[in-house]
Amino acid sequence: MIIAKTESTHLLNSNKEKCKQLISFSKLGDNDIIDTLISLHLVLEVGLNHFYRHLSLLSIKKDISHQEVIKNIDNISFIDKTVLFIYNSKFNFDSPEKLIKAAECHKIINRLRDFAGVRNKLLHGHSISTIYYGEGRKERSSLKEKINLKFLNQQIKTFRLIMEGLRFYLDCLESSLTEQGKKDFKESFLDDSFIPSARLDSE
């Protein structure tokens, strides 16, 4: 029986704040965009890992070590956990509208893979370069081509679509979670309200 459990949410909260501050800048340079892309991905990955860990612990009935359960869950990638959540959970899509919405939200899986791709390249040191030749000719690396406000806007919109879809699935999930419990999960782990939208949306 668990009496109490504490868990650090520092990485999640600090990167939310970093994203909020960076996006609020009056002008974002290349380095600001790189930092925002990485922080936004950390918010997504850390938040989803928290979400699935908490959700999984709710269903543990056996008298086994919860830390062992946590370790095993943490060894699964956040994308694979999302696939399992969407395909193996029991949902109540009790209207034609919800069935249509569920089919649309299924795109979360591919969106997650696309979203993760750029972060992986950034953190694995892929080239962010421009090579200049004579007579004004230049070539940019594929990653350098993505370091701009248009691409950042696309990533932010993808982030929002992922979070919106997961909140929808959570709302429809049949589980022991109360409505308040679902609300708390959404606010803690599936939130996108920290992103200041006005300036970017006007670009």
Q: Is residue 1 part of a domain?
A: no
Range of the domain at 122: 10-201
Condensed to tens digits (0 to 9), the pLDDT of residues 166-203 reads 999 999 999 989 999 999 999 999 999 999 875 555 44
State the pTM of this model: 0.90
**Residue-wise DSSP of 63-105:** S--HHHHHHHHHTS-HHHHHHHHHHHS-B---SHHHHHHHHHH
Sign of the C-alpha dihedral computed for residues 116, 152, 15 and 195 taken in this order: negative
As a whole number, mean pLDDT of residues 77-87 equals 96
Q: Is residue 2 part of a domain?
A: no
Position 2 pLDDT exceeds 60: no
Q: Is residue 36 part of a domain?
A: yes
Q: Is residue 194 part of a domain?
A: yes
Q: Is residue 4 part of a domain?
A: no
What is the structure's pLDDT at 64? 81
Q: Is residue 103 part of a domain?
A: yes
Number of structural domains found in the chain: 1
Condensed to tens digits (0 to 9), the pLDDT of residues 14-58 reads 999 999 999 888 789 999 999 999 999 999 999 999 999 999 888
Residue 173, beta-bridge partner list: 91
Position 63 pLDDT exceeds 80: no
Please, how many CA atoms are within 13 Å of residue 195, restricted to the half-sphere of its CB? 22
Q: Is residue 95 part of a domain?
A: yes
Q: Is residue 168 part of a domain?
A: yes
What is the structure's pLDDT at 196? 81
Sign of the C-alpha dihedral computed for residues 20, 23, 25 and 28 taken in this order: positive
How far apart (Å, rounded) are the C-alpha atoms in residues 156 and 37? 9
